[in-house]
Chain A
Amino acid sequence: MARKKMDTMTEQMFYVLLALRGERHGYAVMQYILELTEGRVTVGAGTLYALLDRFERDGLIRQTRIEEKRKYYRLTGEGDRALRDECRRIMQQAADMERVLREEGRP
Chain B
Amino acid sequence: MREKKRRKLFWFDTIDYRAAEAWLNEQAAHGWELEGIWPGPVAVFNPARRRDLQYAVAVDPTGGKGEREEAYLQLMEDAGWHKVERKPGIYIFASVPGVNPAPLQTDPELEQKQFYQYLRRGWIASLVILIIVATLLAAYFFVVPAAERTPLFSFESLLEDNLVVSALALPLLLIYLVLSGASHLRYWRAGKRAIAAGSELPATSRRAAQARQIIAAVAAVLCVGGWIMGFVQTARRESVTFQDGLEAVAQAAETAPVLRAEDLGKDGWKPLSLDRTPGILLDRVSYSELADRTLITERFECRAAGLARWFAEDMVRAGVTVDVGGYYRPSIFPMEAVELGFEQSWICIGEGWSQILLREGNVVAVVNGPLDLSDPALPDILRERLQLH
Contact = CB atoms under 8 A, between A and B. Distances in A.
Partners in one complex: yes
Interface of A: 10, 12, 25-27, 30, 42-51, 53, 66, 68-71
Given A45-B102, A69-B70, A71-B71, A12 B107 contact: yes
Contacts of A30: 79, 102
B70 A45 contact: no
Interface string B84-113: 000000000000000001111111001101
A10 B195 CA distance: 14
Contact of B107 (A47, A53, A66): A47
A51 B110 contact: yes
B106 A47 contact: yes
Interface of B: 56, 58, 61, 67, 70-76, 78-79, 81, 101-107, 110-111, 113-114
Contacts of A25: 75
Contacts of A69: 70-71, 73-74
A25 B75 CA distance: 9
Nearest to A45: B79
A26 to B, nearest CB: 4
Given A46-B111, A50-B61, A50-B114, A70 B106 contact: no
Contacts of A47: 104-107, 110-111
Nearest to A34: B102
B79 A10 contact: no
A53 B72 CA distance: 11
A81 to B, nearest CB: 22
Given A25-B75, A50-B61, A69-B73, 4 more contacts: A26-B75, A45-B79, A46-B104, A69-B71
Nearest to A12: B107
B4 to A, nearest CB: 33
